[in-house]
Amino acid sequence: MSKKYFGTDGIRGKVGEGVINPEFMLKLGWAVGRVFSRLGSRGSEVPRVIIGKDTRISGYMFESALEAGLVAAGANVLLIGPMPTPAIAYLTRTFHCTAGIVISASHNPFYDNGIKFFSADGQKLPDDIEYAIEAELEKPMEMVESSALGKVRRVEDASGRYIEFCKSTVPTGFTLAGLKVVVDCANGATYHVAPSVLTELGAEVITIGATPDGLNINEAVGSTCPEALSAKVLECKADIGVAFDGDGDRVLFVDEQGNTLDGDAILYVIACDRIRTKGSCSGVVGTLMSNFGFELALRDLEVPFVRARVGDRYVKELMRENNWLLGGESSGHIICSDVTSTGDGVVAALKVLFAVVSGGESLSSLVSGMTMFPQVMINVRRMRSVDLDADPGINEAVRETEKILGDEGRVLLRPSGTEPLIRVMVEGRDQVQVHRLATDLAEKVGHLVG
Question: From the candidates 58, 106, 159, 230, which is the catalytic residue?
Answer: 106
The answer to whether 106 is a known catalytic residue is yes
Q: How far apart are the first and last CA of the chain?
A: 29
Amino acid sitting at position 210 = A
CA 111, distance to chain mean position in Å, is 19
Compute the distance between CA of residue 170 and CA of residue 10 in angstroms, rounded to an integer.
31
Quote the Cα angle for 389-395-397, to 5°: 145
Q: For residue 381, count other CB atoms closer than 10 A to its CB.
A: 12
Which of 17, 97, 32, 95 minimizes the C-alpha distance to 65? Answer: 32
Sort strands 421-428 and 409-415 into parallel, antiparallel or unpaired.
antiparallel
The DSSP call for residue 58 is T
Q: Facing residues of 204 across strands?
A: 180
> How many C-alpha atoms does 134 have within 13 Å on its Cβ side?
17
Q: Alpha-carbon Rg of the chain, whole angstroms?
A: 23
Compute the distance between CA of residue 425 and CA of residue 217 in angstroms, rounded to an integer.
30
Sort strands 240-244 and 260-261 into parallel, antiparallel or unpaired.
unpaired
- SS3 of 287-303: the string is ECCCCHHHHHHHHHCCC
Sort strands 334-336 and 375-381 into parallel, antiparallel or unpaired.
unpaired
Compute the distance between CA of residue 65 and CA of residue 99 in angstroms, rounded to an integer.
17
Q: Annotated catalytic sites, by residue?
A: 106
